[in-house]
Amino acid sequence: MKKYSLAIIVMMLFSLITKASNEAYEKAMLKELQNMKSAASPEDLQKVANGFARIAQMMPEEWLPDYYAALALANAGFRSEGGAHVKDPFFDQAKKHVDKAAKISPNNSEVVALQGFITMGELAVDPASRGQHLSGLAMQTFGKAVDLNRQNPRAIMMLGQMELGMAQFFGQGPEKACGLVDASLALFAKEGAEAKEGNLNPTWGKAMAEEMKKNTCK
Amino acid sequence: MKIILAICFIFLVNCSLAQTTIQGVVKDQKGETIPGVNIFLKGTFEGTSSEIDGTYILETKEEGDFTLVFQSMGFKSQEFEVVLNGSLHTLNPVLKEAINEMTAVTISAGAMEASDEKRAVVLRPIDIVTVPSAMGDIIGAFQTLPGTANVGNDGRLFVRGGDATETAIFIDGLKVGNAFGTTASNVPTRTRFNPNLFKGSFFSTGGYSAEYGQALSSALALNTVDFPVRNQGDISIMSVGGGYTQTLAGEKNSLTASANYFDLSPYQALVKQNFDWERAPYGWDAEVSGRKKWGKKGVVKAFVHTEANGMKIWQPLPDSDERGQLVGVQNQYTFAQTSFRQLGENDWSYYGGISYSNNVDKFDIAQMELRNQNQLVHSKLAAIKGFSEKFSVKTGFESYLFNYEEALISEDLKRDFRDHHTILFSEADYYFNNRLVFRGGIRAGHSSLAGQSWLDPRISLAYKFDNNGQLSLAAGQFSQMPVEQLRVLEQSTQNTRADHVILNYFLVKNGRTIRAEAFYKDYKNLITYEVAQLFPMPLGFDNIQQNGEGYARGMDVFYRDQKSFKNTDFWVTYSFVDSRRKFAHFTEMVQPGFAPRHNGSIVIKHFISSLKSQLGVSVSANDGYTYENPNLPGQMNSKTKNFQDLSLSWSYLAKPNLIIHLACSNVLGRDNIFGYQYANEPNEKGVYEGNPIRLQAPRFLFLGIFLTLSKDKNANNLNNL
């Protein structure tokens, strides 16, 4: 009997600790997500990425901390000013995190879409010389992300963005790209309606889709 | 009391209200502050980042012994043991920089790299196929780079006063025998391999790594495409022939197969030729390449290329008005190889492979029928061990089997030789820091036929400045056996030797590249011989010796700019070479006919979005080629007028998957002369008559249509580059 009660106490304690740690995890994630929303400069985004990296080292089983660290770094890469020597290190760091997220959660449409987003960033650094090599890779990655989850608005929106770039380059109409943007906007709306308080899953990208809608798909 | 303790135990965090503050400034070894450093207590969620001025403040309610970690891109992480006891700590760490492959100094002396890696490179693979004067030949593009000479009537790669046989070509690290097509004299040749096969290249004009040998002047290492991204079929229709390539891409393996046919007859029927062709050049080739992932990090590749081609040409004799002599060339060629790369445990990595080249030429000259066969088997196994991020050693073992045979079929005469080289090479790289790297290597070899062993030391050193420019120095010894045609006559010949010293400055910044290089090369043990007849071509070699010598010295500059003009990429090259050598039948030091002193080229590519077109212009010029005029005293006593070429190209993306390419060489129709061919005997007036050596036609016009079929409608021929 004594043994039993001891076991129960240990189990209770254990669950208490896990719960505490889970709460701390969620609290830390929500805090950094809040920080990411207000981050404007590459420096701010680097700090946010640091925050997610700290959570990642505490929670090696979760893919989200690495995912967001990669996203923050990719955005820092997009927003930083300067040449390849300034931007590339951000994308290199982002790749390390997203690859770790892919290892924790394989065949995850969100992670694959983010891999494509990072490739798109590397491409944007020097389109003249990287375009031929990376545009195919980015297309293929977004295609894979869509195949993994046809309800992922980010994958569809970014595939649309690539299609738009291609169409503009070849002087074709934006119809196909705009179809994708519209599909993504519908999914974004659905995602927004379903999102609960304290949601940690990715919800970003709606503004980008709206921008494309406004500028090219009237 | 117990209860209070228990409560305190459960709500541990809330009980300890004391707050510890750690603050300070993070700096690097140079004393500059580092922003964005991730600072955290290991095993907790507590942490912060350093500000733009490097300062940080970490406030925590944790108590006890903890590890404080400082982490930042480009620096080694640092950890400190701290006791959190509610007081104020000040900690000013100095982070040590980590060796970073992307930004660390690289050895750039002699080297020009084309790749998609992010490191600073001279060219991208795509740049190579779009050089107008290259006409899709990979070597044609290299002829616009510093250190090379354009020898129009030959077509091969001549580097810094060296002749074309002094350049060795490697595919995926394995040597390619007879990389250029066989041709008649003064009919330019091309590389046998399709440029779309390669994703990158490393072209060295001297001072190269101990991994490469049997080349006095230059090494060109080509790397094949790793994994194509999709299934596709590529159709090409050209003014000189056509072909089809099918690519099958899987997750773990892929296969590419292609077949091509060319025949210049229809083209030559339309465009007037200087040469008197009996049968215009024609030929076919077939190629299969496969790649397979090996485990998580390894890859195995296999590649087979086979082709056959021929031509028949009337070559005029200087002292006659008739058609001259009929020269027929038939060539059969096969190159096959398999190679692998694998990453092992504990910072070991391995690579290697085996290649086989077999070249059979048949010549019909006047009444003579000649056949020669050249075979080469090269195998290599190498391992790299990284002892630390600063120090790594590469060691490899190689074996070369040479088999050469030539036969005068009409006379039933035959001669041959076999040679086996055993090679051991080892090279160590040591990074003192991100700015300074040292490389030292040795290459030891033994030839069974020559009975000779040799040891070639090589060293290089590179330093990177604050502005990202870098200075490198390379020096080394290089050995090469004489050409097969001479070795078969004199089988005891030993290695010819060259010593190189190269000083290089290289800077890539904001879309602009500057590269300047100065060099000195010293040649020893070059082959000399006597000839029974010198004109119109040397015949009857005798008294083959190795007492030739020479030097080549000079400098070259390269400037590339992708920034200054919108949608425009251009590069300008100037190379100065002062080369003199005693070799072949010369009894004194002369300037070789393949080494013009002043060489320059300009390549401009401009993209016009509204026309979906890329326009290309390339200009090449040199100050003329030396030649020997028997009517004048002395050796190599004359020089041709200067060489000039203006080539234009237009590439039009008609549809995302359809490219139309039109190119024309020597648009201005300049009458370029590469030397003179003299009669063996003087005429009645006592004058040796000579014919100028020209190209087959003043201009060459190329039209190609490239169509790609795949599920992805935007894919085209260039995607795999």
**B55 located within any domain:** yes
Nearest CA to CA, how far is A65 from chain B (Å)?
A: 12
Q: Cβ of B44 and A58 within 8 Å?
A: yes
Q: What pLDDT score does B17 carry?
A: 55
Tell me which chain A residues have a C-beta less than 8 angstroms from the C-beta of B45: 24-25, 28, 54-55, 58
Enter the DSSP assignment of B196: G
Question: Would you tell me which residues 226-285 of chain B have a C-beta closer than 8 angstroms to some C-beta of chain A?
Answer: 229-230
Q: Cβ of A85 and B468 within 8 Å?
A: yes
Averaged pLDDT for residues B526-537? 86
Q: Cβ of A54 and B40 within 8 Å?
A: yes
Nearest CA to CA, how far is B509 from chain A (Å)?
A: 8
**B138 located within any domain:** yes
Q: Kindly report, residue by residue over B564-585, the tens digit of the pLDDT.
A: 898 888 999 999 999 999 999 9
B71 and B215 housed in the same domain: no
B9 and B149 housed in the same domain: no
Q: Kindly report, residue by residue over A42-96, the tens digit of the pLDDT.
A: 999 999 999 999 999 999 999 999 999 999 999 999 999 887 888 989 999 999 9
Please report, for the domain that includes residue B6, its CATH number: 2.60.40.10
Nearest CA to CA, how far is B44 from chain A (Å)?
A: 7
Averaged pLDDT for residues A111-122? 95
B89 and B133 housed in the same domain: no
E-strand stretches of B264-367: 276-294, 298-315, 325-343, 348-365
**B256 located within any domain:** yes
Mean pLDDT over the full length of chain A = 88
**B720 located within any domain:** no
Q: Which of B95, B126, B154 is the endpoint of a domain?
A: B95
The CA distance from A75 to B602, in Å, is 39
pLDDT at A102 over 90: yes
Q: In this complex, is the C-beta atom of A1 within 8 Å of any C-beta atom belonging to chain B?
A: no
ipTM confidence: 0.86
Q: What pLDDT score does A197 carry?
A: 81
Tell me which chain B residues have a C-beta less than 8 angstroms from the C-beta of A32: none
The answer for residues whose C-beta is within 8 angstroms of residue B373's C-beta and 6 or more apart is B358, B359, B360, B361, B403, B404, B405, B406
pLDDT at B560 over 70: yes
Tell me which chain A residues have a C-beta less than 8 angstroms from the C-beta of B718: 132
Nearest CA in chain B to A89: B73
Please report, for the domain that includes residue B518, its CATH number: 2.40.170.20
Q: Encoding tokens for residue A152? A: 């992922």
Nearest CA to CA, how far is B193 from chain A (Å)?
A: 21
Judged by phi (left if over 0) then psi (alpha if -120 to 50, else beta), residue B24 lies in left
Q: What pLDDT score does B715 carry?
A: 61
Q: What pLDDT score does A12 carry?
A: 65
Three-class SS state of B2? helix
Identify from B66, B115, B569, B714 which residue to disrupt to test chain A contact, counting A C-beta atoms within 10 A and taking the largest count.
B714
Q: Kindly report, residue by residue over B158-169, the tens digit of the pLDDT.
A: 999 888 999 999
Q: In this complex, is the C-beta atom of B3 within 8 Å of any C-beta atom belonging to chain A?
A: no
B82 and B119 housed in the same domain: no
Which percentage of chain A shows pLDDT scores above 90?
A: 61
Tell me which chain B residues have a C-beta less than 8 angstroms from the C-beta of A169: 609, 612
Q: Cβ of A54 and B102 within 8 Å?
A: no
B85 and B160 housed in the same domain: no
B309 and B374 housed in the same domain: yes
Nearest CA to CA, how far is B397 from chain A (Å)?
A: 34
Nearest CA to CA, how far is A47 from chain B (Å)?
A: 6
Max Cα–Cα distance, chain B, nearest Å: 131
B314 and B439 housed in the same domain: yes
Which percentage of chain B shows pLDDT scores above 90?
A: 62
Q: What pLDDT score does B73 carry?
A: 86
> What is the band of B118 on the pLDDT scale with cuts at 50, 70, 90?
low
**B714 located within any domain:** no
Q: What pLDDT score does B14 carry?
A: 45
B296 versus B713: the higher-pLDDT residue is: B296
- Given a contact cutoff of 8 angstroms between Cβ atoms, the answer to whether B349 and B311 are in contact is no
B198 and B230 housed in the same domain: yes
The CA distance from B55 to B92, in Å, is 9
Nearest CA to CA, how far is A41 from chain B (Å)?
A: 11
Tell me which chain B residues have a C-beta less than 8 angstroms from the C-beta of A84: 118
> What is the band of B549 on the pLDDT scale with cuts at 50, 70, 90?
very high
Strand partners, B459: B440, B475
Nearest CA in chain A to B655: A170
> What is the band of B225 on the pLDDT scale with cuts at 50, 70, 90?
confident
pLDDT at A20 over 80: no
**Count of structural domains within chain B:** 2
Q: Encoding tokens for residue B458? A: 């090589």
For B24-33, B118-127, B395-404, B542-551, which range has the lowest pLDDT when averaged over its residues?
B118-127
Q: ∠ CA(B468), CA(B473), CA(B477), 5° rounding?
A: 150
Enter the DSSP assignment of A171: T
Q: Kindly report, residue by residue over B123-159, the tens digit of the pLDDT.
A: 776 777 778 888 778 888 888 889 998 888 888 889 9
B407 and B510 housed in the same domain: yes
pLDDT at A18 over 80: no
**B717 located within any domain:** no
Q: In this complex, is the C-beta atom of A11 within 8 Å of any C-beta atom belonging to chain B?
A: no
Q: In this complex, is the C-beta atom of A124 within 8 Å of any C-beta atom belonging to chain B?
A: no
Main-chain phi, psi angles of B216, to 5 degrees: -75, -30
Q: Encoding tokens for residue B39? A: 């600072």
Q: What pLDDT score does B95 carry?
A: 93
The CA distance from B72 to A53, in Å, is 11
Q: Closest partner residue to B49 among A46, A93, A170, by Cβ? A: A46
Mean pLDDT over the full length of chain B = 89
Q: What pLDDT score does A2 carry?
A: 57
B373 and B409 housed in the same domain: yes
Q: Closest partner residue to A132 among B36, B655, B718, by Cβ? A: B718
Q: What pLDDT score does A173 carry?
A: 81
> What is the band of B13 on the pLDDT scale with cuts at 50, 70, 90?
very low
Q: Encoding tokens for residue A176? A: 């196909």
Nearest CA in chain B to A163: B714
Buried b (16+ CB within 10 A) or exposed e, B611-648: ebebbbbbbbbbebbbbbbbeeeeebebbbeebebbbb
Nearest CA to CA, how far is B656 from chain A (Å)?
A: 7
> What is the band of B714 on the pLDDT scale with cuts at 50, 70, 90?
low
Q: What pLDDT score does A174 carry?
A: 86
CB neighbourhood size of A78 (10 A): 18
Q: Which of B47, B68, B95 is the endpoint of a domain?
A: B95
Separation of CA B313 from chain center: 33
Tell me which chain A residues have a C-beta less than 8 angstroms from the C-beta of B655: 170
Which percentage of chain B shows pLDDT scores above 70?
A: 95
Q: Cβ of A133 and B126 within 8 Å?
A: yes
Q: What pLDDT score does B11 carry?
A: 46
Buried b (16+ CB within 10 A) or exposed e, B456-477: bebbbbbebeeeeebbbbbbbb
Q: In this complex, is the C-beta atom of A139 within 8 Å of any C-beta atom belonging to chain B?
A: yes
The CA distance from A180 to A186, in Å, is 10
Strand partners, B114: B123, B201
Nearest CA in chain A to B654: A170
Main-chain phi, psi angles of A23, to 5 degrees: -65, -45
B4 versus B398: the higher-pLDDT residue is: B398
Q: Which of B44, B65, B95 is the endpoint of a domain?
A: B95
Nearest CA in chain A to B51: A43
B81 and B156 housed in the same domain: no
**B590 located within any domain:** yes
pLDDT at B389 over 90: no
B116 and B70 housed in the same domain: no
Nearest CA in chain A to B127: A129
* DSSP for B573-600, written as a single string: EEEEEEEEEE-BT-SS-B--TT--SEEE
Q: Kindly report, residue by residue over B608-622, the tens digit of the pLDDT.
A: 888 888 899 999 999
**B103 located within any domain:** no
> What is the band of B721 on the pLDDT scale with cuts at 50, 70, 90?
very low
pLDDT at B702 over 80: yes
Judged by phi (left if over 0) then psi (alpha if -120 to 50, else beta), residue B241 lies in left
Q: Cβ of A89 and B74 within 8 Å?
A: yes
Three-class SS state of B125? helix
> Which residues form the domain of B28?
2-95
